[in-house]
Homo-oligomer: A and B are copies of this chain.
Amino acid sequence: MAKDKKLVEAITSMDVDFAQWYTDVVKKAELMGYSSVKGCMIFKPAGYAIWENIQHELDRRFKETGVENVYMPMFIPESLLEREKDHVEGFAPEVAWVTYGGLNPLQERLCVRPTSETLFCDFYKDEIQSYRDLPKVYNQWCSVVRWEKETRPFLRSREFLWQEGHTAHATAEEAEERTQQMLNLYADFCEEVLAMPVIRGRKTDKEKFAGAEATYTIEALMHDGKALQSGTSHNFGDGFAKAFEIQYTDKDNQLKYVHQTSWGMTTRLIGAIIMVHGDDSGLVLPPRIAPVQVDVIPIMQNKEGVLDKAHEVLETLRAAGLRAKLDDTDKSPGWKFSEQEMRGIPVRVEMGPRDIEANQAILVRRDTREKITVSLDTLAEKITEILDTMQTEMLERARAHRDAHTYDAHNYEEFKDIVANKPGFIRGMWCGEQACEDKIKEETTATSRCMPFTQEKISDVCVCCGKPAKKLVYWGKAY
């Protein structure tokens, strides 16, 4: 038993040190490893498989809205990056520069894309001539590089994986519609698939994307009460179009600028899954995103017939469309249970000689640890049912946790008290001045997360300066 406990004991409790707990889970669940390039991570099979499922489901939803995938070069010439003023200021300080191709110095430096607005604009400039060429609703799956100083697995690394959508439209209205459509698609995906509730809203000017007219965001609350920006969608208006001269001839024969958007989600989402659902035994994966949903663990597997029956059960589960695996390694059952829990596999099936004799197995839910005995005849149906229930309840629990950690502040004293003592979202009115955002950030380290689409008036005055308030804002410390 000592050996069986080792895997679990090696994890720091999340209440003792959340950051260390997170690092322990990433390592023990074998999601990610460190590489010899500082700040660049290795996605191990268990981590990458989650990303593949995210990709698969997001891509399907994208295509239903008419998105087409493309692939642009990973390099951006310096002169191209500099074309849009706000954009280059936002990104130039943190890009990696290629200066040599083979043995020869390059005539012009190339940066490794930190994001690809400039490349898409350069492309659209030639592709778009007429209203018939619109809209362009393109997306790419790729990695991007930002030379961050401090990094954390999944949350912040010098290279990360993402998708970036870049669209061009005839009218401002259509661009705005697409910006909101993609934000809502992201939010629905988080809630329906990742069981992670999000606040949908708009970023303040201070927090918006470099070069955007408006940035919309979804903000999730982690178990430790910190916020995580989980997806963003930007409306550029015709700013980039003017910088890059992307014009089209409209039906009325007039030359007009296009209106553009971009939107992205990243491998941060894996960090969010860990921090929203995990517990002191490790990862807990929502069934819809779990690469393996069911772990069949035979007990006394050397007894005649046990492994045969376990294989038979495995095939039955797979035939029912479940993502199931069988752990027939020579480890002890206790060790296998710990591994299944650490890796967040939603359901495990325990079956020993006596269970088999009684034509039954024991199902254990990863999140609640609830155990039930089920006839082998109805195993697949029962597991499917449990996975559905678990998916629903995980979302409900995360929402209850989020709501229980969302506080209203009516004045600055209250605000500071909440930041200091109650980790979570703080709802507070705002006058609209950046000075207040700056002051709050400097004095409390909380930032404005978003102005939620669903506005309420919880006070007449700004939570910071006391002047008349314009907007309700969600504030919080953030990853």
Contacts and interface: CB of A to CB of B under 8 A. Distances in A.
A99 B100 contact: yes
6 contacts: A33-B126, A36-B77, A43-B70, A43-B71, A45-B138, A75-B96
Given A76-B37, A102-B93, A147-B102, A42 B112 contact: no
Given A35-B122, A40-B75, A97-B101, 4 more contacts: A33-B127, A40-B73, A93-B103, A98-B112
Contact of A101 (B72, B96, B100): B96
Interface in A139-154: 142-143, 145, 147
Contacts of A143: 71, 74, 142
Contacts of A75: 37, 40, 96, 159
Contacts of A42: 70-73, 123
A71 B154 CA distance: 12
A94 interface: yes
A70 B97 contact: no
Contacts of A48: 68-71
A123 B69 contact: no
Nearest to A67: B45
Interface residues of A, number: 52
Contact of A73 (B41, B49, B68, B122): B41
A110 interface: yes
A27 to B, nearest CB: 12
Contact of A97 (B71, B98, B126, B145): B98
Contacts of A77: 36-37
A95 B98 CA distance: 10
A476 to B, nearest CB: 28
A79 B235 CA distance: 44
Nearest to A79: B36
A69 B52 contact: yes
Nearest to A69: B48
Point out which of A48, A71, A80, A158 has the most chain B C-beta atoms below 10 A from its C-beta. Answer: A71
